Amino acid sequence: MRHALLIAASALALTGCASVFQPRDEIVVTTKHTRPPHLPTDLSPEGVAAADDHLALEQVDGAEAMAFVRASNEKALAVLTGDPRYETFRAEAEAILTATDRIPAPSFLGDGIGNFWQDGTNPKGVWRRTTLDSYASADTRWETLLDVDALARSEGKDWVFKGASCLAPDETRCLISLSDGGKDAVVVREFDLTTKTFVDGGFVLPEGKHRISWLDADTLLVATDFGPGTLTESGYPYIVKSLKRGQTLAQATEVYRGAQSDGGYGVSASVFRDAQGAVQAVIFNRPLDTFRSERWWWRDGQPVKLGLPERASLHGVMGQGEGAELVFTAEEAWTYRMFQSSEMPTEGEAVPAGALLSVDLENLVPLESPETGEVVESVTLDSEVIFEPGPRQSVEDVRVMNDHVLVAYSDNVVGRVARFQDRGEFAWERQEVTVAASSAIGLGDSSRKSGRVFVSAQGFLTPPSLGLLTPTDAAPRPLRAAPPKFDASTHVVEQFEATSSDGTKIPYFVVMPRGLRMDGSAPTILFGYGGFQVSFPPAYKPEMGKLWLENGGVFVQANIRGGGEFGPAWHQAALKENRQLAFDDFAAVAQDLIDRGITSPRRLGIYGRSNGGVLTSVSITQRPDLFNAAVIESPLIDMLRYHLLPAGASWIGEYGDPRIPEEAEYIARYSAYQRLRPDADYPRVYITTNTRDDRVHPGHSRKFAARLAAQGHDHLYFEDTAGGHSNDADPVANARRWARHYVYLAQQLMD
C-alpha cells in the first residue's frame, strides 16, 4: 500500500489531483482537488515570473531582500542561539574544527609537502610547507609561506584562500586564488615560494570565475571574462587565450573558442605533464551541457577534435609524443570502430559505461575516408580497457603515474584500491592494494616524479588515517591517524536496503546506538544528495558524532539514485524527466526506517545542501507525513527559474531546461517553491544559505521562506553574510553554523 502511494505521488499531473500526507505518528490519506495556488498555468519563463510574488528577493543586496534577511535572522537567532544547548554545541564544534591534532591535508610541493591550515589562532589560515620526513614525524616543523589572516588585515579584505597552482617541476612559482568573502569568483596573483612574496609585475587576474593552467614559466592558458559577450549564460568563459608575462588580458592571443550557448562550467585547458614537468598534451574541454563535452587536442598549435564519447572523465596521459595515451573513464556506453589503412571501418567492441580505458591520442583523431577525402564520423581506436567495474561497483578516483594507474573504486559503497601495471600490447596487470575494510578510501595528491600517492581511510565511527603508497607497496605505509573526536563505542553501523517505487533496491547506512529498541523512538537524521554522480561512502563526521550521536541520536546516509555509487547508470537513472526517482528513493529509505522501527515520523528529520536542497525541499512538499524536521541548506528550490539565477544554467544537463515546454512540465511536477500549499501539514523547517554564495543563488532560500510565511507555515530562515557556497571561509563561523543546525534538529526531534 505504501509503495502504491509513492507511485501515485510521483505521477501527479500538473493540476495536482491528489496529495498524500500524514500527521507525524499515523498515516492518513487526504485528497486534494485544488491546484497549488502558486503553480502557474503558463509555464513559460514569462508566465512563471508573472506568478512569482517574491521576485524582489532575487536581488542579492537589494533593499527589500536585505530587510527580509535581517528580520528573518533576528527571529531565527532568537530561537536557535537562545536555546540553552547552543553555546555547548558551538564550543564543542569549534573545538573539533580548530583542533590542532587534525591530520594536515598534504600535497606534494616541489621536493617537500605543502598544507593549508586553519585553526582558532588562524581562522583564515596559513599556507605552509615542510619536508616529507618532518611531516611523518611526531614533531612536524612547518615553514609559513602565506599568512592569509595577516594578508586580509593588511589589505582590508575578507580574503578566503581558494588554492594554489604551482608550475612543475620545481614548483617555486604559484598562482594563488583568493576569494573575497568565500565566493567562487577569485582574484589570482603570482607568488614566489623562494621569497614568500607576491611577484612584483607578475601575473594578476581580476575577480572572476577563471580557468587557468601554466603552459610554461612565462605563459598561462586562461579562460575568463574577456569583456562583453565572452561569457555563457551561466557566467562561465567559453574562450581560451594564451597570456604572456607582461601582457594584459586584452593583449592575450586566442587559441580556442567554444560558443556562447555552451553549457556546463565553462571551457578550460588541461596541461598534462610527465614526471620531469614536460608537457605531454594540452586538451581543451568544451562543455555542451553539465555532463557532455567536446575535447580538442592542441596539436602543433591547432585544436583538433578528439573522437571521445561526449560523457567522459579525463584522468591523465601516459607517455610522450606519438605514443602518448589518454586515460579516461567512459561515462556512457561506447562502441568504437577499428580502421585499417585503406579500408572502411569495421565494427569494434562495445565499451560499457563506467569502464576505465587507455587510448593512443593519435588514434582519437578522426581520419579522412581514402575514397572521398571526407572526415569519417567514427575514429580509429586501439583501445585498452584497464578496468571494467561490476554491477555494484564504480570508478571513484584515478591517479595516472609513469607506468601504472592507481584506481580507487567503490564496491557496494565500500572503498577499494587497485594498481594496474602497463605490460604493453593491451595488457594490464592488476594488483589489489590492501586498505582498511568497510571504509571510505580516498586518493590524495600524487607525485609522478616519485611515484608516490597519499591514501586516506575513514568510516562513520573510525577517524581518518593517512598513508603513503609507493609503486612497489602492497599497502599504504602509515603516516598519520587522527584521534577520535567523540565516543564511538556507543554506536554501531549497519547497511540496509529499501525498495523504491520501481522495485530498485536502494542501499543506506544507519549509525545507531548499540541495542537500539526498535520502537520508533530514536531521533534520526536522514542525509541524502542524489545528483551529479557524486558518491557518499562512509565518512567520519566528528561534529555530527559529538553533537548528535553522543546525545543518543541516529544518523542515516541514503545512497539514492542520481549519485555515483554504482557508476554512470546510477546517476543517469535520475536525470531530467526521471528526477522523481531520486525523491522516491529517499522516501522509500525513510519509510523503511519507520517500518523497521528504527524511528518514526515524529522523530525523523532530513538534511541536504545544494542539490540536496532540491531533495529536501521536494521531500517536505511531497511527503510531509514522513518527517518532522528538515535542514535545507544552500538549496536550489525554485526549479522553474533556477536557470536564470547564476550559475543555474550550467546544470541544465542534470535537471532539464525550463524554457522547453515539455521539460518545464516535468520540472513543475516537483518544484517545491511552486508546489507549496497553505493547507498542507508541513513540519517547521530550517532554511539557511549565504549572501555571498555565487554558485547557488540565495534567492532560492529567501523566496521559499517568504512563501512559507505568506501561507502561514512555521519555519526558520537564517542567512549568513559571508562564507560562500563551500562554508570554508572560517572554522569559527562554521562551528556556529553546525551549532544552529543541531539545536534545530534537537528541538524538532529530541524535545
User: Cell triple for residue 677?
Assistant: 500549499
User: Position of cell 614559466?
Assistant: 217
Question: Under a CB-based contact definition with an 8 Å cutoff, are residues 54 and 703 in contact?
Answer: yes
Active site residue 610: yes
Using CA atoms, how far apart are residues 573 and 579, in angstroms rounded to an integer? 8
* AA identity, residue 337: R
User: Cell triple for residue 242?
Assistant: 594564451
Question: Under a CB-based contact definition with an 8 Å cutoff, are residues 16 and 30 in contact?
Answer: no
Q: Which residues pair with 214 in a beta bridge?
A: 220
User: Cell triple for residue 687?
Assistant: 532554511
SS3 label, residue 649: helix
User: Cell triple for residue 240?
Assistant: 581560451
Q: Which helix (H) or strand (E) holds 63?
A: helix 63-80
User: Nearest to residue 46, comparing CAs of 732, 673, 664?
Assistant: 664
User: Cell triple for residue 587?
Assistant: 522516501
**What is the phi/psi pair of residue 589, to 5°?**
-65, -45
Active site residue 210: no
User: Cell triple for residue 603?
Assistant: 522523530
- Parallel/antiparallel/unpaired status of strands 477-481 and 491-499: unpaired
Catalytic residue among 456, 610, 617, 671: 610
Q: Which residues pair with 144 in a beta bridge?
A: 128
CB-based contacts of 410, cutoff 8 Å, min separation 6: 393, 394, 396, 416, 535, 537, 565, 566
User: Cell triple for residue 221?
Assistant: 592558458
- Given strand 107-109, what is the order of strands in its sheet? 107-109, 112-117, 126-130, 143-147
User: Cell triple for residue 620?
Assistant: 517536505
Give the other-Cβ count within 10 Å of 750's Cβ: 16
User: Position of cell 615560494?
Assistant: 193
Question: Under a CB-based contact definition with an 8 Å cutoff, are residues 208 and 224 in contact?
Answer: yes
CA atoms lying within 13 Å on the CB side of residue 712: 5
User: Cell triple for residue 465?
Assistant: 588515517
SS (H, E, C) 79-95: HHCCCCCHHHHHHHHHH
CB-based contacts of 638, cutoff 8 Å, min separation 6: 52, 645, 671, 673, 674, 699, 700, 703, 704
Catalytic residue among 38, 643, 700, 725: 725
Using CA atoms, how far apart are residues 234 and 263, in angstroms rounded to an integer? 7
Crossing angle of helices 611-622 and 580-595, rounded to 10°: 60
Question: Under a CB-based contact definition with an 8 Å cutoff, are residues 19 and 35 in contact?
Answer: no
SS (H, E, C) 654-674: HHCCCCCHHHHHHHHCCCHHH
- Residues annotated as part of the active site: 610, 725
